[in-house]
Amino acid sequence: MTTYADIPDTELDIDKPVKSSTAKQQRDNPLAIMEGDPTAVAAGKGVNIDFDEGAGSQTAIKTDEIDTQKILVPDGFGSVKWSSERVGMFLIERKQIAGAVQNVTFSGLDGDADEVYKLIGRIIKPAGVAAYRFRPNGLTTNQSMGVTSNGTFALFGTLDFLTAVIAAGNIISFECLIHARETVEATGMDRQFIGKAMESGSALQVNDFGGVWGGAGNITSLLVSSSIASGIGIGSTFELFKLVQ
């Protein structure tokens, strides 16, 4: 460990030549402070950081403070503190498909508590025509949505946010904002969702979609479902986020 050495003010007089020993101290002291040299701590120039709680150091970082989910936030007194309080959209889970499937499921949700979700996906489409839809709690009933495709209102009452018709191997990208709680003020209001989907390849299809989920109850799981077996190909990815406020 580098040793801290105090530099007297007399050694820093404007008209006094700099000694090699003084220059060495100026070089080494910042490193000694960073390393927590006891001499620097005793002189009030640094802090000894000890990851073992209560190990007699001047300032200890408790093990429960070492958390990748915590961030530095203002403490209201001109300094900062570690906090698990976060604001914004934060990732719940990411899925990458290793083998073609018909459904991708996010479980362990609590829509009434979380209120808002955002789902992003890229689907590698295998051969065949396939339609894709969302299924809250696995349900296929009490749902209604409308779709505008390439700027023209195309469908109403469908459950499919996109019907992919072009060549296998092309990519479908989508994002969907989900209001997963009935309402803050009242109950009995349908849960709503709105988003965009695009299929690219030899032709381009861009869809705007939105709809309601009625009678789903608290959303504890969410499926992205294909109309055909293995309709979600290898390499497809899905990310589900929730609002933290």
Question: Could you read off the pLDDT of 82-105 as tens digits, one per residue?
Answer: 666 666 788 999 999 999 999 999
- How confident is the model at residue 2, as a pLDDT? 78
Asked if 115 and 186 sit in the same domain, the reply is yes
For the segment 113-126, what is each residue's pLDDT rounded down to a tens digit?
Answer: 899 999 999 998 87
Structural domain range at position 159: 88-244
Asked if 120 and 65 sit in the same domain, the reply is no
Q: Is residue 35 part of a domain?
A: yes
Instruction: Report the mean per-residue pLDDT for the chain.
Output: 77
- Closest to 117 in 3D by CA, of 210, 238, 245, 242: 242
For the segment 69-83, what is each residue's pLDDT rounded down to a tens digit?
Answer: 566 666 667 677 666
Instruction: Tell whether the model's pLDDT for residue 28 goes beyond 70.
Output: yes
Domain stops at, among 48, 82, 116: 82
Report residue 3's pLDDT band, with 50, 70 and 90 as the boundaries.
Answer: confident
Q: Contact, 155 vs 207, CB < 8 A?
A: no
User: Distance of CA 215 to CAs 67, 137, 195, Å?
Assistant: 39, 11, 21
Asked if 96 and 13 sit in the same domain, the reply is no
For the segment 203-240, what is each residue's pLDDT rounded down to a tens digit?
Answer: 678 888 888 887 768 899 999 998 888 889 999 999 99
Instruction: Tell whether the model's pLDDT for residue 51 goes beyond 50.
Output: no
Q: Is residue 211 part of a domain?
A: yes
Report residue 151's pLDDT band, with 50, 70 and 90 as the boundaries.
Answer: confident
Domain count, the chain: 2
- How confident is the model at residue 84, as a pLDDT? 62
Asked if 42 and 144 sit in the same domain, the reply is no
Q: What is the CATH number of the domain that holds 108?
A: 2.60.120
